[in-house]
């Protein structure tokens, strides 16, 4: 009976042990199942990500391929441009050399033209110097009819002699005769100044003559007795040896002193 009790107790304990152990296994199985499900979900998610990554990688591969193609095309264009640039550089260098040659030629031509122009100018200057040196220089101015008061009136015309020479380049004026003799054929400017003073109701007058022919005549009536002056001038074409002088008409008078009130002058403008 004790043996039976003992076996019954062992059996009860075993049954209790089984009863106690089974729930733990089921819990573990359930946990494992949940874990598997979770892992499956994670796996599906990872598979989706992998698929997406594969698609992206494929897309990137296509992009890389396109870029490679573009790079190859660009390299080909670069090579072509390098060839063209090499030709352009050669053409540029050729054009530059041509331009430099043209510039040198132009500079040489301009220099030659400048040299010719300079030579021509120098020749012209030398010719002008020669002409200026060779051209006669003629100029005279004289005063001093009597330096002592009235001159005239006379019963006949009287040649005027200006004895005080102021200028006489070329020695063409004679203070002895009062005449200017043209040394060369040319155009001359001849002029005079005449003065009258000291008596009212007097007539003053003067002639200019060329080879005995009157060139011009000037008169004035002095009604007040104070200083009166006459001046005039003329351009004359004179031949070599032509004579020009001044003359006081009959019955007219002038007045003179040492202040050069009366002057006879002239000069050569140019030869003809």
Q: Beta-carbon neighbour count of residue 183 at 10 Å?
A: 16
In contact, 162 and 145? CB cutoff 8 Å? yes
pLDDT for res 126: 74
In contact, 211 and 245? CB cutoff 8 Å? no
Q: Where are the domains of the chain?
A: 1-134, 139-271
pLDDT for res 79: 66
Q: How far apart are CA 207 and CA 84, in angstroms?
A: 96
Q: Where are the alpha helices (DSSP H) in the chain?
A: 2-134
pLDDT for res 19: 44
Structure-token pair, residue 84 = 């063209």
pLDDT for res 204: 86
In contact, 160 and 264? CB cutoff 8 Å? yes
pLDDT for res 18: 46
Going by the DSSP 8-state scheme, the letter that residue 173 receives in this structure is B
pLDDT for res 86: 57
The length of the chain, given as a count of residues: 272
Structure-token pair, residue 268 = 């050569």
227 phi/psi in degrees, rounded to 5: -60, 135
Structure-token pair, residue 264 = 């006879």
Q: Which residue has the tokens 């819990």?
A: 27
pLDDT for res 3: 47
Q: How far apart are CA 209 and CA 236, in angstroms?
A: 11
pTM beyond 0.85: the answer is no
> Helices H, strands E: what count in the chain?
1, 12
In contact, 148 and 256? CB cutoff 8 Å? yes
Class of CATH domain 139-271:
mainly beta
Percent of the chain with pLDDT over 90: 33
Q: Which one, of 218, 225, 172, lies nearest residue 194 by Cα? A: 218
Q: Beta-carbon neighbour count of residue 266 at 10 Å?
A: 23
For the chain, residues with pLDDT lower than 70 are 1-29, 31-32, 36, 57, 71, 74-75, 77-79, 81-95, 97-98, 101-111, 131-132, 199-201, 225
| 46 prior amide bond cis, ω within 30 | no
């Amino acid at each position: 009976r004790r043996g039976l009790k003992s076996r019954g107790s062992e059996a009860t304990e075993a049954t209790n042990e089984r009863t106690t152990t089974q729930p733990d296994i089921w819990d573990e199985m359930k946990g494992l199942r949940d874990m598997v499900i979770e892992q499956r979900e994670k796996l599906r998610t990872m598979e989706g990500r992998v698929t997406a990554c594969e698609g992206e990688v494929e897309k990137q591969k296509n992009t890389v391929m396109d870029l490679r193609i573009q790079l190859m095309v660009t390299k080909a264009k670069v090579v072509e441009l390098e060839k063209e640039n090499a030709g352009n550089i050669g053409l540029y260098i050729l054009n530059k050399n041509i331009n430099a040659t043209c510039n040198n030629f132009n500079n040489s031509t301009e220099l030659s033209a400048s040299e010719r122009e300079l030579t021509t100018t120098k020749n012209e200057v030398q010719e002008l110097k020669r002409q200026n040196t060779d051209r006669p220089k003629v100029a005279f101015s004289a005063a001093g009819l009597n330096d002592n008061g009235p001159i005239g009136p006379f019963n006949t015309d009287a040649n005027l002699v200006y004895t005080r020479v102021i200028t006489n380049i070329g020695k063409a004026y004679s203070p002895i005769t009062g005449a200017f003799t043209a040394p060369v054929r040319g155009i001359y400017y001849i002029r005079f100044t005449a003065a009258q003073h000291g008596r009212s109701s007097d007539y003053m007058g003067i002639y200019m003559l060329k080879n005995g022919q009157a060139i011009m005549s000037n008169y004035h009536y002095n009604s007040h007795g104070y200083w009166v002056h006459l001046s005039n001038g003329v351009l004359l074409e004179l031949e070599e040896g032509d004579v020009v002088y001044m003359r006081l008409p009959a019955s007219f008078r002038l007045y003179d002193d040492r202040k050069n009130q009366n002057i006879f002058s002239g000069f050569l403008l140019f030869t003809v």
